[in-house]
Structures are given as structure tokens and as C-alpha cells.
């Protein structure tokens, strides 16, 4: 069986798509040498497919008002312990001036699902960011209407992140009251149709989640030909129904990052803040088994504490300069360099999947 897994990893490195059953076995194995082989193969594929550069995305978390009640989320509507904030559109655009000065090519506007930011406000911000800084604009603002997605695209938005969180529709429904996986996937399909570089991703370590469902998460990203995928461990948040549940593990997060890289070689994969919250070396490890993106936080410090999706989130008291220094330290420790330019997924350039 273990030799069988090594062969599967070798074949995947050569470009054969893994089956869900094979991926499930790789999640389940307790053979250290198989896991090491997986990480090394994913690192080689990453180097060949997307290169040594690590692209930076300047993140601004601009509102923690949410209309939803996701059971794991620290800023869910029902959490009365949260101090709520909303940044004004001008303040959001201004927060990106430093990122532009630092030559970071991409802005990520992220917020809870907050209808206060109507179509006009979002369109205004996209146009201003393009006009003032010429940056690539990524939106991460949840489920919106087709008309909104279209208006944002026409205003110049380039990318959209919308994590599906779990490919298990029953688990999805339990964790997201009033929401469905079907609707989430419809949004992802619409975003792709409209021409966005589209990203999704999932959580690892949710109660009731199986290795089979994690394998299906990898399959979903591959089959939908998504261009980005962010994987984070579940970390319990205070004031939520899951506050006492156990965290996901770094090991399984890294296995999924590696499986994503092997199954979707051209994917842009961030080493997430949640991984670093779980383990101070987490981002380095993720970058060495498939990841190629980091997302420094440019949210003004006074708001950071309030955008606490889970307990112990790092970077809350870290100034922008400190954050950039930390990133430089991470990259020099693993001999990687910062990518120049927009850092688009090579899928956009018509590069073939089998690379
Ligand atoms: S996960 Fe997102 S949509 Fe769900 S409650 Fe939190 S901020 Fe809102």
C-alpha cells in the first residue's frame, strides 16, 4: 500500500490526475516517508509550474459587519462580543497607498458580507484604486448578485475570492445557517463566466469533516479549473457555537496544499495567516510544499483586533513595516524571492496544465 502511494505521487508529478480515493488514502496515511515524498513532489511541481517567486497581495479587511451566522466565525452576526467597524471608501483606498509605494501589485479588498457597501461604493473603490495606483484588484466580499459581479468586473476588478469552505453539502448547511453549497458554487461559476480570475478554498479540521470530503475539495478546485485556492485550518473563535471544538492540524493543511499543487499545477496558493497562527513556521512550511503567495495586512492597526475570525490570529498588533520585514525573513530563510508585477495565474497566459 505505501509503495502504491509513492507510485501514485510519482505519477501525479508526471501529470496524471489523482482519483478521490487515492487522495483520501494520502490524507489518511501515517507513513512519514510518504508524506515527505508528497511534499517534495509538490515543491518540484510548484517550481516548474509557477517558479520561485512568491507574490504579495496587499490585504485590507474593511468591515466586520456581517449578515451571516457561520458557526465557526468570530465575527458572525450573532456574536455580541465583537466591536463592529466599517471603513469609509476613501479610507480603504488610502490604506493601499503604502502597498503601492512598496511596489505590491495586487490589492485584496476583503470584508464580511456587509450590504452597506452597495454597488456604487464598491465600483467607486475599484475605479479609484485603478486610477491612483494601477493595482490589480481582488475582491473578497462574499455572495452578491450576478448584476453586482458584472458591475464590479466592468469597473475593472480582476479577481474574486470566495471560499467554498467544504465540499460536503450537508456539513456546509450545518455550518452556514440559511446558506447552501449549491448557491456558493453557482456564485463561483458566475464569477468564472464573467472572466474573473476566481479563487476558492476550504477549511481543514471541521467537526464531521472526513478525508474523503477533503479529497473532494481538491477535486472541486481542479474540476472547476479555479485559479486560486486558500486552505486554512479550523481554529475555534470565542463567542461562537464551535468555541470549544478542536483545531485542525498543520499536517493535514500541508497535505492538502501539496495535493492541490499536484492536481492543479498552475494554481496560485497562499500560505495563509491561519496557518501561521497554528504554527510560527507554518507559512515557511506551506511555501515549501506548494504555496506561492503571501498576503501582508494593510488594514489600519486600530481595526485589526476587531477582524478576529478565530482566536489567536497573528498580525493583529504588527505594523505594516514589521509585517513586510517578517515576510522578507520568511523568504530569505527558504531562498525564495518576491515576485515582480501583477502575479497573475499562468492559466491566464494560456499555459498548459501539463507542465
Ligand atoms: S465567515 Fe464570512 S460570511 Fe460567514 S459569518 Fe464570517 S464574515 Fe460572515
Does ligand 1 lie within 6 Å of residue 71's CB atom? no
If phi over 0 gives left and psi between -120 and 50 gives alpha, with beta otherwise, what is residue 208?
left
CA nearest ligand 1 atom 7, residue? 112
Does ligand 1 lie within 6 Å of residue 306's CB atom? no
Q: Please tell me the distance between residue 70's alpha carbon and the centre of ligand 1 in angstroms.
A: 6
The contacts of residue 6 (CB under 8 Å, 6+ apart) are: 34, 37
pLDDT digits (tens, 9 = 90+) for 82-124: 999 999 999 999 999 999 999 999 999 999 999 999 999 999 9
Query: What is the band of 265 on the pLDDT scale with cuts at 50, 70, 90?
Result: very high
Mean pLDDT of 265-273: 96
pLDDT digits (tens, 9 = 90+) for 281-307: 999 999 999 999 999 999 999 999 899
Q: How far is CA 244 from the centre of its chain?
A: 24
**Residue % of the chain over a pLDDT of 70:** 97
Q: Please tell me the distance between residue 229's alpha carbon and the centre of ligand 1 in angstroms.
A: 17
Mean pLDDT of 181-204: 98
Is the pLDDT at 62 greater than 90? The verdict is yes
The pLDDT score that the predictor gives to residue 312 is: 76
pLDDT digits (tens, 9 = 90+) for 63-81: 999 999 999 999 999 999 9
The pLDDT score that the predictor gives to residue 353 is: 46
Does ligand 1 lie within 6 Å of residue 75's CB atom? yes
Q: How far is CA 280 from the centre of its chain?
A: 18
Mean pLDDT of 138-146: 98
- Domain range annotation of the chain: 2-335
Query: What is the band of 355 on the pLDDT scale with cuts at 50, 70, 90?
Result: very low
Ligand 1 atom with the smallest distance to the CA of 69 is: 5
Query: What is the band of 316 on the pLDDT scale with cuts at 50, 70, 90?
Result: confident
The pLDDT score that the predictor gives to residue 310 is: 82
pLDDT digits (tens, 9 = 90+) for 32-41: 999 999 999 9
Mean pLDDT of 49-76: 97
Ligand 1 atom with the smallest distance to the CA of 77 is: 5
Does ligand 1 lie within 6 Å of residue 73's CB atom? yes
CATH 3.30.300.20 matches 2-335: no
Is the pLDDT at 233 greater than 90? The verdict is yes
Model pTM score: 0.96
Tell me the backbone φ, ψ of residue 134, rounded to 5 degrees.
65, 25
CA nearest ligand 1 atom 4, residue? 70
Taking the CA atoms of 331, 304, 140 and 312 in sequence, report the sign of the dihedral they define. positive
Q: Pick 316 or 343 by higher pLDDT.
A: 343
Query: What is the band of 323 on the pLDDT scale with cuts at 50, 70, 90?
Result: confident
Q: Please tell me the distance between residue 333's alpha carbon and the centre of ligand 1 in angstroms.
A: 34
pLDDT digits (tens, 9 = 90+) for 11-46: 999 999 999 999 999 999 999 999 999 999 999 999
- Cα gap 156→158, rounded to integer Å: 6
Amino acid at each position: 500500500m505505501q509503495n502504491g502511494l509513492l507510485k501514485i505521487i510519482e505519477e501525479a508529478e508526471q501529470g496524471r490526475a489523482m482519483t478521490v480515493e487515492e487522495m483520501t488514502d494520502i490524507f489518511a496515511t501515517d507513513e512519514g516517508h510518504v508524506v515527505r515524498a508528497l511534499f517534495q513532489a509538490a515543491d518540484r511541481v510548484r517550481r516548474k509550474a509557477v517558479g520561485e517567486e512568491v507574490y504579495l497581495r496587499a490585504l485590507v479587511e474593511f468591515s466586520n459587519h456581517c449578515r451571516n451566522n457561520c458557526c465557526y466565525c468570530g465575527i458572525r452576526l450573532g456574536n455580541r462580543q465583537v466591536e463592529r467597524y466599517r471603513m469609509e471608501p476613501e479610507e480603504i483606498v488610502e490604506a493601499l497607498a503604502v502597498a503601492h509605494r512598496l511596489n505590491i501589485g495586487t490589492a485584496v479588498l476583503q470584508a464580511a458580507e456587509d450590504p452597506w457597501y452597495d454597488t456604487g461604493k464598491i465600483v467607486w473603490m475599484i475605479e479609484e484604486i485603478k486610477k491612483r495606483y494601477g493595482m490589480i484588484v481582488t475582491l473578497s466580499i462574499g455572495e452578491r448578485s450576478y448584476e453586482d459581479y458584472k458591475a464590479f468586473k466592468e469597473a475593472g476588478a480582476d479577481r474574486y475570492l470566495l471560499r467554498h469552505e467544504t465540499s460536503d453539502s450537508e456539513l456546509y448547511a450545518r455550518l452556514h445557517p440559511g446558506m447552501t453549497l449549491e448557491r456558493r458554487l453557482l456564485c463561483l461559476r458566475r464569477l468564472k463566466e464573467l472572466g474573473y480570475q476566481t479563487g476558492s478554498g476550504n477549511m481543514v479540521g471541521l467537526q464531521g469533516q472526513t478525508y474523503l470530503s477533503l479529497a473532494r475539495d481538491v477535486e472541486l478546485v481542479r474540476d472547476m479549473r479555479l485559479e486560486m485556492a486558500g486552505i486554512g485550518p479550523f481554529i475555534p473563535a470565542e463567542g461562537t457555537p464551535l468555541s470549544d471544538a478542536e483545531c485542525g492540524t498543520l499536517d493535514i493543511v500541508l497535505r492538502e496544499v501539496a495535493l492541490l499543487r499536484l492536481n492543479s499545477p498552475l494554481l496560485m496558493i497562499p500560505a495563509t495567516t491561519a496557518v501561521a497562527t497554528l504554527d510560527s513556521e507554518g507559512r515557511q512550511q506551506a511555501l515549501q510544499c506548494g504555496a506561492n503567495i503571501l498576503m501582508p495586512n494593510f488594514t489600519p492597526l486600530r481595526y485589526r483586533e476587531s477582524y478576529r475570525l478565530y482566536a489567536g490570529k497573528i498580525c493583529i498588533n504588527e505594523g505594516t513595516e514589521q509585517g513586510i520585514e517578517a515576510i522578507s525573513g520568511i523568504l530569505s530563510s527558504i531562498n525564495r524571492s518576491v515576485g515582480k508585477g501583477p502575479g497573475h495565474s499562468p492559466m491566464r497566459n494560456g499555459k498548459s496544465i501539463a507542465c
